[in-house]
Structure 1
Amino acid sequence: MNSTFYDINKPQSIEQIAEFLGLELFDNGQNIHIKTSGCAALSNASSSEISFFFNRKYVDELKNTKAAAVIIGKADIDYVPEGVAILSSNNPYYDYARLLEYFYIPKSESIINDRVVEPTAYIASSAQIGVNCYIGRNVVIEDNAVIGDNTIIMHNTVIHNDCVIGNNTKISSNCVIQHAVIGNKVLIHPNVSVGQDGFGFALNAGKHYKVPQVGRVIVHDEVEIGAGTTIDRGSANDTVIGSGTKIDNLVQIAHNVELGRNCIIVSQTGISGSTVMGDYVVTGGQSGFAGHLKIGAGVQIAAQSGVMTDIAPKQIYGGSPAQPIKNWHRQTIILKKLLKKDEK
């Protein structure tokens, strides 16, 4: 794996890695005392790197890998070639992520190790800054804003008046935060806008009259917001992002939307105003939601779907307009058959 943008932690033996991750180790003909220096995909891993396997689509890559060891579920151990040590895991992808965190330390973090306020930052006298914070170059923090302990605000970001940012949160460069309360351990990627006006207009005498948006955005703990995403503040109620929810790049979340806990919102999803989603909802890329809908907990939406109606919990929908996934598949098959008949 290329290390241009990372500092590499000290090498560890396969045995030490197993102990670090708390995994059961099988040598499988490998020397478990050899030092490993990083991680890589199955097809690219060298004899000094560790890889992982959790999708049988890649079984051929596993059978031909040159990795020193592989993190793998018990059900798939028989696919591992001799000479590759086995790190048996109940959740290979999660344990691989933990190992990546150990080996690879972003060099960009080295500039914030001193936790200082850069000289070009502007901080209003009434703002409150917690302990051990880093405030980057050209950051603006306006009146009465509150920044929690151990929080990082990167270059050129603006925190508007009266916003509250929690502890151990990172807001990347070129973000704008207004009318918002951001929780603890939140990660916001570059070029995100949170708390701007919602899109609300009243038609009067042939003209669109702007409706004041007087709500807030509430982002609960451990949320991640991808680059270029926009989250509008509420018109009267708040826009709410539930704890643990992960939002991809280039997502639009309109005013008064409420997302439950631990949702996955994939890139280019658009959620119209006042739609409410339960916990653990998953939206595929480029899916769209009409306004004022109720989407139940555990619902999954296929990519490029257009959701126009409420959906009960634990349903899988696809298509445009979205419908139960089996119905959508049947319709697709029927359309293909009809097209073939027309071609004849």
Structure 2
Amino acid sequence: MPDTSFFARGAGLTVGEIASRAGAEVGEGTDPNAVLTGIGPLDRAGPDDCSFFDSPRYAPQLATTRAGCVFIAQKHLALLPEGLPHLIAGNVQAAFAKTGRSFYPAALLPDAITTTEGISPRAEIDPTAQIEDGATIEAFAVIGPGVKIGRGTIVSPGAVIARDCAIGRDCRIGAQVALSNTFLGNRVVLHPGVKIGQDGFGYVAGPSGLDKVVQIGRVIVQDDVEIGANTTIDRGAIRDTVIGEGTKIDNQVQVGHNVAIGRHCVIVAQVGISGSTTIGDGVMIGGQTGVNGHVTIGDGAQIAAVSAVSADVPAKSRWGGIPAKPVREWFREMRFLSELAMKGRSARNERDE
């Protein structure tokens, strides 16, 4: 059984309630009145846990699981051990995610680190700051002149909010976050160590060295954005850097100045986006990808992990590789190079290696 000491188990839900909330069908022979209190992976789940199966590669774990119930797709029912309670779902991962949210609502958003309610006497708050009732400012947070913070927002210890920044309602500002030249919408989540609004990287080569280009824009983060730990977002140079509503950015991502990211995008860890790039709505960018400056990635495009985007990407296309190109073209080139390498092998070459 998974250790959930940081997120306590509650009274639980019946299998029938889980099915109703997740939009799943109770499988044949499964007791809808059985009560489950947690979730877990197939190999660690116990009789009180709900788990899921979404790939034949995990068939050995499915065969030996002790889970109290398992989400499974119709196409995989033949792999199900006899007598194992199950729920049939069209989208197994989505159904399991809904169940997790039902069991552990406290895990959805970071909570206050201390037990302080309201404004801690150990926080440093400028008298001109405007903080709505119901906001929580924890110890050692620093709130600068003219800052506006909405109700329901939690500012964690060590966070620094520079002058004239505005933070909407029901936001979560993690420990050691630093904001300057930034406006946040409502329900924005910034995990620990996020830095937003610092200088973009702008220099002009001159006879005496590198001359700095002033960065006088802002960062606009719209509603329901979540930004992972230690991500950095530069303010604009002469226009704003914008993160569209609902976008989710993973840990350790770098977003350069003047970048415009659309709504409901997914940007995975260690992506670097150079200045003045435009990213449309619903774009997905895999981890450790680099995006060159001044390119446009169209709505709904997908970029494979560890790619280098150096040209405009059409909407709804799938690109990957270095340099990135349509995935079919990329796969064809990789297959050709592999076959060419195999043809070049000889007994002598093998010995030389």
Deviates more, 1:47-56 or 1:125-134: 47-56
Pick closer, same or farther for the CA change 1:110–1:2 going to 2, 3 Å: farther
Asked if 1:162 corresponds to 2:164, the answer is yes
TM-score of the pair, normalised by structure 1: 0.93
- In the alignment, what sits opposite 2:71? 71
Pick closer, same or farther for the CA change 1:108–1:230 going to 2, 3 Å: closer
Deviation at 1:23, TM superposition (A): 3.7
Asked if 1:201 corresponds to 2:203, the answer is yes
- In the alignment, what sits opposite 1:81? 81
Instruction: Report matched runs for 1:101-120 at 5 Å.
Output: 101-104=101-104, 105=106, 109=111, 115-120=117-122
- The question of whether the paired residues in 2 share the 8 Å contact of 1:29 and 1:82 is answered with no
Residue 201 of structure 2 aligns to a residue whose secondary structure is coil
Asked if 1:282 corresponds to 2:284, the answer is yes
Q: CA separation in 2, counterparts of 1:153 and 1:318?
A: 39
- In the alignment, what sits opposite 2:188? 186
- In the alignment, what sits opposite 1:325? 327
Deviation at 1:77, TM superposition (A): 4.1
Deviation at 1:35, TM superposition (A): 2.5
- In the alignment, what sits opposite 2:42? 42
Asked if 1:243 corresponds to 2:245, the answer is yes
- The question of whether the paired residues in 1 share the 8 Å contact of 2:112 and 2:156 is answered with no
Give the residue type in structure 2 aligned to 1:14. V
- In the alignment, what sits opposite 1:52? 52
Residue 8 of structure 1 aligns to a residue whose secondary structure is coil
Q: CA separation in 1, counterparts of 2:289 and 2:113?
A: 38
Give the residue type in structure 2 aligned to 1:32. P
Q: CA separation in 2, counterparts of 1:56 and 1:181?
A: 46
Asked if 1:11 corresponds to 2:42, the answer is no
Q: CA separation in 2, counterparts of 1:288 and 1:137?
A: 38
Give the residue type in structure 2 aligned to 1:58. Y
Gaps of 5+ in 1: none
Deviation at 1:78, TM superposition (A): 4.4
Deviation at 1:63, TM superposition (A): 3.8
Pick closer, same or farther for the CA change 1:55–1:146 going to 2, 3 Å: farther
Deviates more, 1:146-155 or 1:92-101: 92-101
Give the residue type in structure 2 aligned to 1:206. S
- The question of whether the paired residues in 1 share the 8 Å contact of 2:22 and 2:96 is answered with no
- The question of whether the paired residues in 2 share the 8 Å contact of 1:9 and 1:102 is answered with no
Deviates more, 1:329-338 or 1:215-224: 329-338
Instruction: Report matched runs for 1:119-138 at 5 Å.
Output: 119-138=121-140
Q: CA separation in 2, counterparts of 1:323 and 1:45?
A: 42
Deviation at 1:83, TM superposition (A): 2.5
Deviation at 1:24, TM superposition (A): 3.0
Q: CA separation in 2, counterparts of 1:20 and 1:119?
A: 43
Deviation at 1:47, TM superposition (A): 1.5
TM-score of the pair, normalised by structure 2: 0.91
- In the alignment, what sits opposite 2:349? none
Pick closer, same or farther for the CA change 1:296–1:111 going to 2, 3 Å: closer
Structure 1 vs Structure 2 CA RMSD: 2.1
Give the residue type in structure 2 aligned to 1:11. G
- The question of whether the paired residues in 2 share the 8 Å contact of 1:127 and 1:142 is answered with yes
- The question of whether the paired residues in 2 share the 8 Å contact of 1:30 and 1:68 is answered with no
Deviation at 1:87, TM superposition (A): 2.5
- In the alignment, what sits opposite 1:92? 92
Q: CA separation in 2, counterparts of 1:334 and 1:78?
A: 38
Deviation at 1:3, TM superposition (A): 1.6
Give per-residue Cα distances to partners, 1:189-246, cap 9 Å, x unaligned: 1101000000011222231111110000011111110111000000011001111111
Q: CA separation in 1, counterparts of 2:314 and 2:42?
A: 40
Give the residue type in structure 2 aligned to 1:13. T
Residue 337 of structure 1 aligns to a residue whose secondary structure is helix
Q: CA separation in 2, counterparts of 1:184 and 1:334?
A: 50
Give the residue type in structure 1 aligned to 2:65. T
Pick closer, same or farther for the CA change 1:131–1:98 going to 2, 3 Å: farther
Give the residue type in structure 1 aligned to 2:67. A
Residue 169 of structure 2 aligns to a residue whose secondary structure is coil
Pick closer, same or farther for the CA change 1:182–1:60 going to 2, 3 Å: same
- In the alignment, what sits opposite 2:351? none
Percent identity, aligned pairs only? Answer: 40
Give per-residue Cα distances to partners, 1:50-72, cap 9 Å, x unaligned: 11233444344334322111223
Q: CA separation in 2, counterparts of 1:161 and 1:186?
A: 19
Give the residue type in structure 1 aligned to 2:9. I
Residue 111 of structure 2 aligns to a residue whose secondary structure is helix
Give the residue type in structure 2 aligned to 1:174. Q
Q: CA separation in 1, counterparts of 2:43 and 2:211?
A: 58
Deviation at 1:74, TM superposition (A): 4.0
Residue 231 of structure 1 aligns to a residue whose secondary structure is strand
- The question of whether the paired residues in 2 share the 8 Å contact of 1:77 and 1:86 is answered with no
